[in-house]
Amino acid sequence: MLAINRKDAGTPAAAGAPVTLTIDGADVTVPAGTSIMRAAAAAGGAIPKLCATDTLNAFGSCRVCLVEVEGQKGFPASCTTLVAPGMKVRTQSDKLSQLRKGVVELYVSDHPLNCHGCPADSHCELQSVAADLGVTTSPYDCKGANHSAARRDGSNPYFEFDPTLCIACSRCVRACDEVQGTFALTIEGRGFDSRVVASQDESFLDSECVSCGACVESCPTAALSEKPLAILGRPERAVTTTCAYCGVGCSFEAEVRGEQVVRMVPNRDGQANRGHACVKGRFAYGYATHADRITTPMIRSRITDPWQPVSWDEAFKHAAAEFRRIQATCGQQSVGGITSSRCTNEETFLVQKLVRAALGTNNVDTCARVCHSPTGYGLKHTLGESAGTQTFDSVQKSDVIFVIGANPTDGHPVFASRMKRRLREGAKLIVADPRAIDLVRSPHVEADYHLQLRPGTNVALINSIAHVVVTEGLVDEAYVAERCEPAPFQRWREFVAQPKHSPEAMAAVTGVPAEQVRGAARLYAKGGNAAIYYGLGVTEHSQGSTMVLGIANLAMATGNLGREGVGVNPLRGQNNVQGACDMGSFPHELSGYRHVSEAATRELFGGLWGVTIDPEPGLRIPNMFEAALDGSFKGLYVQGEDVAQSDPNTQHVTAALSALECLVVQDLFLNETAKYAHVFFPGSSFLEKDGTFTNAERRISRVRKVMQPLAGLADWEATVGFAKALGYTMDYSHPSQIMDEIAHLTPTFTGVSYDKLERLGSIQWPCNDAAPEGTPTMHVGQFVRGKGRFYVTEYVATQERVNARFPLILTTGRVLTQYNVGAQTRRTANSQWYEEDVLEIHPQDAEDRGIATGEWVGVTSRAGETVLRAHVTERVQPGVVYTTFHFPDSGANVITTDNSDWATNCPEYKVTAVQAVKVQRPSEWQRRFHKRNDEQLALLPETTDSRAQR
């Protein structure tokens, strides 16, 4: 069913040389490779169609789109017939009308036009084609064989399949194959018996379907339709906004009725997603109006006291008085703030501004600390800019795709679909991951190399790949000579050439057979355009920054930077990780990654803000916790981040939070951190505010308000209110003014404005005088730092060693249907697919311990103990176990340790030595957690919606 405001040109755009033809007497010029149908649409005409849509290759099955072409016999289908120079086409004639009418009457015979009450009424393509052709009933009149008794499938929580409305056009099947790449659907049978079947004739819920919704969107009738459409009715308006989940940053049309979202339709003009979406962005938005939302500000004196609902003003005054009291007694540096990668750029900028300007300290950090801070360090040092180098479109020009420590089908699903499309076209794939992630083998995609390394040995692996490149003469000498500093390159070359780095020598460390490493290295270096995509499996290690340096070294050495199809691309986990880093959230950097020790930078910011910026970097998150425990840090403002669940060594974190005298939490829900808070500012969801997010491509996209903030204030307004109560005025009436300030202060943003975003749709920074419309590909011609710089990357084994007591390595990750700490997705039907964190364990390790799938396993590390249900699988290698951290009571971070990256303190989530044993009951920590959770929920006021979460 078509989205509102949506025009469909029938077939995809082509990119050939211009061709001129005549359609209905008028000259039309279109690129070679264009269909007659699309050319007619470009000329302003419309040929009826049913099986064609412009997101899918033409199929030519319905025969509604017939045309006449001078000099050709018969009536070719306009969707499958390409234009030719001088071609003369007629799209309208009595004969064509008669033929089309005959076809539509046949369809209508099995799909009567009883449109009243149908969710697609007035947006159905069959209904509109029939109306255009004057078909109101069928001469066959549904008297013959029909499908009216076919059974509906309502198993999927978000959409329904009603086969009685299916016209067997195959658009859904092709959408699943071509756009999503899951191949979950087929048309079974022939002729009248044709029917859409999911997997092996299973329900949608039980099938391989990953609920991306591409089939639903492509369906011309209501055979596949979103469930809310039937309940809420047709949308009245559409607002273009950006997904608030992962770092792909998909653009959506939020279709709204009144103040309610009826459905989210991926924006076909969206430059990050090109009209595709995943189950989270398209369907899992219900958390925004979930009954658990807290919409009243609250305060309390002690964390064991009941919450008191108060006005916003009272909450601001209380928080400000507490922070000033603490600073007066314990010093200016005894307070700080944490920004969120889930909030907008403008909100993040304001929180760090509040900390630096209103509180007078650089004690501000961001949750990006715990995911991609090594990316900032590694890419800044080698290339000169703390960001990925490409657009997502760039992958279409890659010949070799090297995925390291990332699981795109789960973490970045829409980009994974783009990647899989390119792989189906013939690009080669190398995967370096301890687990057999889906990308290693999925329908029509198979990795050429799966380097299944031991967790914690990334640097050893990258050095051995580099060793092959250097010793087998695979270096792009001309590129390096022209673009990189010679002396550091020489040092690096001599370093990696040492025999100790050879794949043969390193195999004992990494566990990867040398021949595989050699093959992968040769393919990466000489296979054409080679692009690296990496994730938290690279950064969340004690050598996270070293590994990012190593990746950049490899890309420079092989000349794989500075053009389309290549590059070094961090896949950012949350929606605004890039933005949170860009906006000056780190304690040592102001926006645009400028160090607080630079006098000119401090003067620029301090001058505009009317304050003196401290030249000393402030505390990082782990240092804040340490300082809280030693009594020197007592006040913390946390916006949109749940450190009590997401940060490692939970017991250490909660001890630190308990030691604070004033913890202010701003969030949608009473999250785990808020259970230690003294002040609660109700947060606003992405549907309730204006702003921007910056995705993994450095793409700045607008977030637009769809409904009024449920708590009365958007997050940025709450920060402004808090600052005012602290005696510091922030004078903004709209987030566009905050962006203007960011642009004024940040060299890479000087050309960014809401007006320009309106005009261009989105902008990839740097956007300034040198690049007024943004920078799709970085480092073209030369690196941002001038010459690229190589770094020696010595492998140092993590301190986290396995031994007889802790013989297994635990590594962590995420699943498609849940997101981060799960605060949003757990409050949606996504939990039907994944309702608890489980422990993946290899059959051999499970057998040694007498553990079967579904049984409770006690997992103990040097930091703590928790209990998870086992899932015995060969996805993990022997000696390695794996879990996710989407559910607070699973306690995954009770067992992760304080080990962290040497340069940035990014926690080493990916390597924890553990023991796993069969147990019968939850851990001591889990029993305490549940007790405390019940106590905290009981302290919520009766008058707020929040009581609903009990």
**Residues engaged in binding ligand SF4 (CB under 6 A):** 166-172, 175-176, 180, 182, 184-185, 196, 209-215, 218-221, 223-224, 243, 245-246, 248-250, 273, 277-278, 280-281, 412-414
- Choose from ligand SF4, ligand FES, none: what does 61 bind? Cβ within 5-8 Å by kind: ligand FES
Nearer to ligand SF4 by Cβ, of 652 and 702: the residue is 702
> Least separation, in Å, of the C-beta of 362 and ligand SF4?
32
Of 57-65, 104-112, 227-235, 835-843: span binding ligand FES (CB under 6 A): 57-65
> Least separation, in Å, of the C-beta of 137 and ligand FES?
22
CA angle 902, 904, 906 (to 5 degrees): 90
Partner residues linked to 253 by β-bridges: 240, 265
- Choose from ligand SF4, ligand FES, none: what does 79 bind? Cβ within 5-8 Å by kind: ligand FES
- Choose from ligand SF4, ligand FES, none: what does 60 bind? Cβ within 5-8 Å by kind: ligand FES
Of 63-71, 92-100, 417-425, 649-657: span binding ligand FES (CB under 6 A): 63-71
- Choose from ligand SF4, ligand FES, none: what does 171 bind? Cβ within 5-8 Å by kind: ligand SF4
> Least separation, in Å, of the C-beta of 248 and ligand SF4?
4
- Choose from ligand SF4, ligand FES, none: what does 211 bind? Cβ within 5-8 Å by kind: ligand SF4
Give the HSE-up count for residue 320: Cα atoms under 13 Å, Cβ half-sphere.
Answer: 19
Token pair listed for 452:
């299944």
> Least separation, in Å, of the C-beta of 177 and ligand FES?
17
Token pair listed for 874:
């060969």
Distance of CA 237 to CAs 255, 688, 698, 708, Å? 6, 16, 29, 15
Q: Percent helix, strand, coil in the chain (nearest 5)?
A: 35, 20, 45
* Residue 658 CB partners (closer than 8 Å, separation 6+): 303, 676
The three-state (H, E, C) secondary structure of 59-91, written as one string:
CCCCCCCECEECCCCCCCECCCCECCCCCEEEC
52 binds ligand FES (CB under 6 A): yes
229-268: string of b/e by CB count within 10 Å (b at 16+)? beebebbeebbbbbbbbbbbbbbbbbbbbeeebbbbbbbb
61 binds ligand FES (CB under 6 A): yes
- Choose from ligand SF4, ligand FES, none: what does 181 bind? Cβ within 5-8 Å by kind: none
Q: How far apart are CA 767 and CA 679, in angstroms?
A: 39
> Least separation, in Å, of the C-beta of 75 and ligand FES?
11
- Choose from ligand FES, ligand SF4, none: what does 742 bind? Cβ within 5-8 Å by kind: none
Q: How far apart are the first and last CA of the chain?
A: 39
Token pair listed for 843:
């059959």
> Least separation, in Å, of the C-beta of 71 and ligand FES?
21
Instruction: Say which DSSP state 752 is in.
Output: -
The binder of ligand FES chosen from 30, 40, 64, 406 (CB under 6 A): 64
- Choose from ligand FES, ligand SF4, none: what does 172 bind? Cβ within 5-8 Å by kind: ligand SF4
The binder of ligand FES chosen from 36, 51, 338, 906 (CB under 6 A): 51
Given a contact cutoff of 8 angstroms between Cβ atoms, the answer to whether 685 and 244 are in contact is yes
> Least separation, in Å, of the C-beta of 77 and ligand SF4?
17
- Choose from ligand FES, ligand SF4, none: what does 679 bind? Cβ within 5-8 Å by kind: none
Nearer to ligand SF4 by Cβ, of 175 and 916: the residue is 175
- Considering only residues 70 through 109, tell me which ones interact with ligand FES, judged by CB under 6 A: 77, 79
- Choose from ligand FES, ligand SF4, none: what does 52 bind? Cβ within 5-8 Å by kind: ligand FES
- Choose from ligand FES, ligand SF4, none: what does 571 bind? Cβ within 5-8 Å by kind: none
Nearer to ligand FES by Cβ, of 77 and 335: the residue is 77
- Choose from ligand FES, ligand SF4, none: what does 213 bind? Cβ within 5-8 Å by kind: ligand SF4
> Least separation, in Å, of the C-beta of 48 and ligand FES?
8
What does the CA dihedral 850, 853, 856, 858 come to, rounded to 10 degrees? 60
Q: Which residue has the tokens 């940053």?
A: 249
> Least separation, in Å, of the C-beta of 209 and ligand SF4?
3
Given a contact cutoff of 8 angstroms between Cβ atoms, the answer to whether 478 and 779 are in contact is no
Token pair listed for 363:
């004690």
Q: How many residues does the chain have?
A: 950
- Choose from ligand FES, ligand SF4, none: what does 619 bind? Cβ within 5-8 Å by kind: none
Given a contact cutoff of 8 angstroms between Cβ atoms, the answer to whether 472 and 465 are in contact is no
> Least separation, in Å, of the C-beta of 25 and ligand FES?
22
- Choose from ligand SF4, ligand FES, none: what does 50 bind? Cβ within 5-8 Å by kind: ligand FES
Q: How far apart are CA 316 and CA 202, in angstroms?
A: 54
Q: How far apart are CA 42 and CA 53, in angstroms?
A: 14
346-381: string of b/e by CB count within 10 Å (b at 16+)? bbbbbbbbbbbbbbbbbbbbbbbbbbbbbbbbbbbb
Token pair listed for 256:
């709204």
Of 44-52, 239-247, 350-358, 373-381: span binding ligand FES (CB under 6 A): 44-52
> Least separation, in Å, of the C-beta of 464 and ligand SF4?
33
The binder of ligand FES chosen from 43, 62, 523, 876 (CB under 6 A): 62
Q: Find the radius of gyration of the CA atoms of the chain.
A: 29
E-strand stretches of 16-165 = 18-23, 26-31, 68-69, 88-90, 159-161
> Least separation, in Å, of the C-beta of 424 and ligand FES?
24
> Least separation, in Å, of the C-beta of 53 and ligand FES?
9
Nearer to ligand FES by Cβ, of 56 and 216: the residue is 56
Q: How far apart are CA 561 and CA 531, in angstroms?
A: 8
Q: Which residue has the tokens 């005012």?
A: 724
- Choose from ligand SF4, ligand FES, none: what does 65 bind? Cβ within 5-8 Å by kind: ligand FES
Give the DSSP H or E segment for 335.
strand 335-339
Distance of CA 641 to CAs 352, 671, 870, Å? 14, 9, 29
Nearer to ligand FES by Cβ, of 63 and 947: the residue is 63
Nearer to ligand SF4 by Cβ, of 182 and 296: the residue is 182
Query: Within 245-302, where are the H helices?
Result: 279-283
810 binds ligand FES (CB under 6 A): no
> Least separation, in Å, of the C-beta of 112 and ligand FES?
21
69 binds ligand FES (CB under 6 A): no
Nearer to ligand SF4 by Cβ, of 167 and 552: the residue is 167
- Choose from ligand FES, ligand SF4, none: what does 100 bind? Cβ within 5-8 Å by kind: none
Q: Which residue has the tokens 């289908």?
A: 77
Given a contact cutoff of 8 angstroms between Cβ atoms, the answer to whether 309 and 297 are in contact is yes
> Least separation, in Å, of the C-beta of 82 and ligand FES?
13
Given a contact cutoff of 8 angstroms between Cβ atoms, the answer to whether 3 and 262 are in contact is no
> Least separation, in Å, of the C-beta of 641 and ligand SF4?
18
Nearer to ligand FES by Cβ, of 49 and 483: the residue is 49
Give 71-79's long-range contacts (Cβ < 8 A, gap of 24+). Answer: 75/99, 76/36, 78/10, 78/35, 78/36, 78/37, 78/40, 78/47, 78/49, 79/10, 79/11, 79/35, 79/36, 79/37, 79/49, 79/51, 79/52
63 binds ligand FES (CB under 6 A): yes
> Least separation, in Å, of the C-beta of 35 and ligand FES?
9
What does the binding site for ligand FES look like in residue numbers (CB under 6 A)? 49-52, 60-65, 77, 79
